[in-house]
Amino acid sequence: MGSIEFSGVGKVFGQAGGGTKALEDINLTIGEKEFVAIVGPSGCGKTTCLRMVAGFELPSSGVVSVSGRPVTSPGPDRAVVFQQFALFPWKTVRENIDLGLRNKNLPKGERDKLIHGALQLMNLESHADAFPHQLSGGMQQRVAIARAYVLDPDVLLMDEPFGALDAQTRVVMQEELVRLARVNPRTVLFITHAVEEAVYLADRVAIMTRRPGRIKEILDVRSVRLRENWDRFQNIEDVMDLESFVSIRTHIWKSLREEKGPQGI
């Protein structure tokens, strides 16, 4: 459960002929419990890819499947974490996490148990009754991740989830996500601008071309961890110094640079 497949996927926004061709012939298979990051220039269609897996957008051509079934609408097997945390400001942390569960028709006792587990998982227990505005950006994003995890989805879709955080908080959250991915592995499609983040977090990194976005290259970056005995390198700064990390990062940067326009944007 939880595999994702893009098969010959194209997307055109607006009228045929005069529309915007966002994606062209995307082919990508993400295995069960695999963590794949997509990097690519701004506007190349990364978010559109994610939205199609979520069921918010339909492809114009080709098929997007999850667990072997074509996606036609959103569903409880997929949870999304956005860059803007998308919390309800008038609800507490606990109530925000509870929101998704409400559709599941579980007895209150059962829901409370799940919420408690999610609060624990994200180190939020002491903030359960706080409102979002009382929390830092990092804490708010923890709530959004807890809200996604509590649904027990097969697939976790993350669209630049740490893009709005300051550098230090971002590192903490990256390390946290590595920990989560180990204790509670899911199929993850993770979109980011940050090359280091992609290499640090993912099993494979897909590089996209500029618009219309195609998959240019898919790199297996697991070797960064296996080769160097990952357990000795819990912290991102240790990993970032590894020769294997540096060479993959440089390769991705070069590949992305080729996709920039003449003005370098």
Rounded to a whole number of angstroms, the CA Rg of the chain reads: 19
Which amino acid is it at 152? D
Binds ligand ADP by CB under 6 A, chosen from 1, 8, 13, 241 = 13
Q: Are 13 and 59 in contact (CB under 8 A)?
A: no
Q: What is the DSSP letter of 76?
A: T
| In the complex, minimum distance from the CB of residue 80 to Mg ion, in angstroms, rounded to a whole number | 13
Q: Is residue 92 a contact point for Mg ion (CB under 5 A)?
A: no
Which span (35-43, 59-67, 80-88, 122-130) binds ligand ADP, by CB under 6 A?
35-43
Contact mark string toward ligand ADP, 198..217, x via CB under 6 A: -------------x------
Q: Is residue 46 a contact point for ligand ADP (CB under 6 A)?
A: yes
Q: Is residue 83 a contact point for Mg ion (CB under 5 A)?
A: no
Q: Which is nearer to Mg ion, 36 or 139 (CB)?
A: 36
Q: Are strands 4-13 and 20-30 parallel, antiparallel or unpaired?
A: antiparallel
| Distance in angstroms (rounded) separating the CA atoms of residues 265 and 260 | 5
| Distance in angstroms (rounded) separating the CA atoms of residues 225 and 137 | 29
Q: Is residue 44 a contact point for ligand ADP (CB under 6 A)?
A: yes
The first and second tokens of residue 138, run together, are: 């990092």
Q: Is residue 45 a contact point for ligand ADP (CB under 6 A)?
A: yes
Q: Is residue 47 a contact point for Mg ion (CB under 5 A)?
A: yes
The first and second tokens of residue 53, run together, are: 């897996």
Binds ligand ADP by CB under 6 A, chosen from 48, 140, 141, 174 = 48
Which amino acid is it at 221? V
Which span (44-52, 107-115, 166-174, 252-260) binds ligand ADP, by CB under 6 A?
44-52
Measured in degrees and rounded to the nearest 5, phi and psi for residue 137 equal -60, -40
Output helix, strand, coil percentages for the chain, rounded to the nearest 5.
Answer: 40, 25, 40
**Nearest Cα residue to 197 out of 151, 126, 252:** 252
Q: Which is nearer to Mg ion, 193 or 216 (CB)?
A: 193
Which span (43-51, 89-97, 131-139, 198-206) binds ligand ADP, by CB under 6 A?
43-51
| In the complex, minimum distance from the CB of residue 193 to ligand ADP, in angstroms, rounded to a whole number | 9
Contacts of 258 (CB under 8 A, 6+ apart): none
Binding region for Mg ion (CB under 5 A): 46-47
Binding region for ligand ADP (CB under 6 A): 13-14, 20, 22, 40, 42-48, 211
